[in-house]
A and B are shown apart, each in its own frame.
Chain A
Amino acid sequence: MVAAVTLDSLTVRFGRVAAVDDVSLDIRPGEFFTLLGPSGCGKTTLLRCLAGFVQPTAGRVAIGGRDMNGVGPNQRPTALIFQSLALFPLMSVADNIAFGLEVRGMDRATRHARVEALLDLIALPGMGQRRVDELSGGQRQRVAIARALAVEPAVLLLDEPLSALDLKLRQHMRAELRALQQRTGITFVYITHDQGEALAMSDRVGVMANGRLEQVAEPGDIYASPATPFVARFVGETNAIPGRVVAIDGGQAVLETPFGRLTGRSGADLAVGTMATLFLRPERLRTGPPPWSAQLVRGTLERTEFEGAATTLFASAADGIRLVCQVASHAAVPPATGTEITFFYAPSDALVLAEQPA
């Protein structure tokens, strides 16, 4: 099976800065692939490279197995949905959607039929003659999607299209985008800095930092088994406890930490004697009487946040380490702030990752 998108050692430099640094990646046909990273990590540059607006300094982009070197944005089988949407304000909704078809020389009647079908698809039937500025944010969003889908792209590129919407609408559009992707079967390449969006919608997520691809995996694996300390910190909440590796045995690593010796699953490239960090999700940290094999960490409870189903406990511990623990609200009444509290976890729930030499 030919990959929908292939990146082969792709590098983009602006002057001395490598915005995209030696990225290799295969995106499968029909996949919802998300590039997740903080702003400035190079994800937008990478997307613009796929669209053809940015030329790679080195490496190769292929779409559907075809080398895209020297192919302009107007010749590529991609469609880009801009962060600002970039709808044409002087054209009606229908003219916006039909623009790509008009460019391809499609006759008026066929064009009209296609536009009507697309308006149905985005649930805005009969809105074709509206002006763009008469639409709400969510409706504009959908028009931008329809305009891009009209040209039947092999790959749809989305540049943080939901970032301008308010929270409720964003969550609604998330579900809608996902449903649309599954209905059309088009490969989506979506970029965002919002990890919630990435985890909720994607088949696979690629986490980017400083122009490099840190990890590519399914959302569950990204969350449960981050490959690097950056991914562990960037995706979801986490407890990070630094220490020195004292033993590695049978997939487990023992770390000398301010809390004493702690055990967790061993990540890649760990060596005895090096510095490492133990990462632990808040919901894996528990309170109450620990079983005998559990790992213990102690701290002073600073505050609690009740969030409905869950309650989050924030504690400070030795060496300025902050602990975050999430418990089910119905399970226990949290102790008063200021009390000494003992948390425990199972070694298989923690992950020890080597800190890259800074």
Chain B
Amino acid sequence: MNGLAARYGWPLAAICLALVAAWLALLILLPQLMMFEFSLRPNLLPRQLGGPEDVRSLANYARLFGNPIHLGIFLQTIWASSLVTVVVLAVCYPIAFYLAQVARGRQAALLFVALVVPFWVNEILRAFAWLILLARNGLVNRLLIDAGLIAEPLPLLGGTGSVLLGMVYAYVLFMVFPLYNAIESLERQQIEAARDLGAPWWRIHWRVVLPHAKPGIAVGCIMTFMLAAGSYAVPMLLGGVRSRWFTEVIYTWFFEGANWNQGAAYAFVLLLLCILFIFAMMRIFRVRVSDIGR
């Protein structure tokens, strides 16, 4: 803080800090606290407000754990988001490694553009694109039928598979860039040194590249998991009755059930899960917050 003051002078430094503090307090902390307050109170009619029933309790939270369907969807969301994260990591690691250590000049630039361009399109539109591809008489089924591989169209949509596919596609970039940043900073000669000492390619990755990329992996996994767990558009469009996402349940409470208190409690459980996931990732990959910031 003194450094800031020394550089810009006290008045400007004070303004900067005040703006940051205001942003944190008004736009993040205060709304969250209000939602938390909501989540503790029962859903009452206006005339009941302030009455004997209007007391704080954990009843809204308890309701999630007492409802097997909602709990099932919650657990399913955790499981599927983890799966998305793992698949995205598996898909992105080779791409990031290729970009960071193998590709040269134009090749790398072209690949970057090819990765980024699809993300100029809105997430909902991209989900719709998959809808068109995977629909009952969509492109994939048509091609398979024309090729004579299947007689009847496959039910590609509406299951967990299509949601996973849509999400992997939607969040690839959020994994590629942290990974790329981490791997790019690895001195190429270390890979050569490992090779020179006789290591086969998989051991080079296991012992040299992956340990170096750990902070990037942690950041990528955190981002992907949080985006996947909090995703709404993709599961809504590509999922069906059989694969409801927890965000859809929250949405339902807020806007169809008109029960903000219950919705807020569910939302907080999801937030708590994401925070736990962040800590777990930091533990697993033995990275600190300062490493992630790099």
Interface residues of B in 149-204 (CB under 8 A from A): 187, 189-190, 192-200, 203
Interface residues of B toward A: which range?
10 to 19
In the assembled complex, B208 has its CB within 8 A of some CB on chain A: yes
User: Is B195 within 8 A of A74, CB to CB?
Assistant: yes
In the assembled complex, A330 has its CB within 8 A of some CB on chain B: no
In the assembled complex, B212 has its CB within 8 A of some CB on chain A: yes
User: Is B196 within 8 A of A78, CB to CB?
Assistant: yes
Q: How far, in whole Å, are A151 and B193 apart by their CA atoms in the complex?
A: 12
**Measured between C-beta atoms, what is the minimum distance from B104 to chain A in Å?**
13
Interface residues of A toward B: which range?
20 to 34
In the assembled complex, A100 has its CB within 8 A of some CB on chain B: yes
Chain A 67-90 near chain B by CB (<8 Å), digits 1 or 0: 000001111001110101011101
Name the one of A52, A84, A91, A103 contacting B197, with C-beta atoms under 8 angstroms.
A103
CB within 8 Å for A73 and B212 given contacts A86-B187, A99-B207: no
In the assembled complex, A51 has its CB within 8 A of some CB on chain B: yes
Give chain B residues whose Cβ lies under 8 Å from the Cβ of A74: 195-200
CB within 8 Å for A100 and B211 given contacts A82-B192, A86-B189, A86-B190: no
Interface residues of A in 34-89 (CB under 8 A from B): 51-53, 72-75, 78-80, 82, 84, 86-88
**Measured between C-beta atoms, what is the minimum distance from A145 to chain B in Å?**
13
Q: How far, in whole Å, are A177 and B262 apart by their CA atoms in the complex?
A: 74
Give chain A residues whose Cβ lies under 8 Å from the Cβ of B199: 74, 99, 103
Give chain B residues whose Cβ lies under 8 Å from the Cβ of A52: 196
User: Is B192 within 8 A of A100, CB to CB?
Assistant: no
User: Is B197 within 8 A of A86, CB to CB?
Assistant: no
User: Is A86 within 8 A of B198, CB to CB?
Assistant: no
Name the one of B195, B198, B211 contacting A90, with C-beta atoms under 8 angstroms.
B211
Name the one of A73, A84, A88, A151 contacting B208, with C-beta atoms under 8 angstroms.
A88
- Which residue of A is nearest B208, CB measured? A88
User: Is A100 within 8 A of B187, CB to CB?
Assistant: no
CB within 8 Å for A84 and B203 given contacts A79-B197, A90-B212: no
Give chain A residues whose Cβ lies under 8 Å from the Cβ of B200: 74, 103
User: Is A82 within 8 A of B193, CB to CB?
Assistant: yes
Give chain A residues whose Cβ lies under 8 Å from the Cβ of B203: 103
In the assembled complex, A183 has its CB within 8 A of some CB on chain B: no
User: Is B189 within 8 A of A100, CB to CB?
Assistant: no
User: Is A80 within 8 A of B193, CB to CB?
Assistant: yes
Interface residues of B in 195-251 (CB under 8 A from A): 195-200, 203, 207-208, 211-212
In the assembled complex, A104 has its CB within 8 A of some CB on chain B: yes
CB within 8 Å for A86 and B193 given contacts A99-B199, A100-B198: yes
Give chain A residues whose Cβ lies under 8 Å from the Cβ of B197: 74, 79, 99-100, 103, 147-148, 151
Name the one of B196, B198, B207 contacting A104, with C-beta atoms under 8 angstroms.
B198
Interface residues of A (CB under 8 A from B): 51-53, 72-75, 78-80, 82, 84, 86-88, 90-91, 99-100, 103-104, 147-148, 151
Q: List 15 A-B contacts (CB under 8 A).
A: A51-B196, A73-B192, A74-B197, A74-B198, A75-B198, A79-B197, A80-B192, A82-B192, A87-B193, A90-B211, A99-B194, A99-B197, A100-B198, A103-B198, A104-B198
Interface residues of B (CB under 8 A from A): 187, 189-190, 192-200, 203, 207-208, 211-212
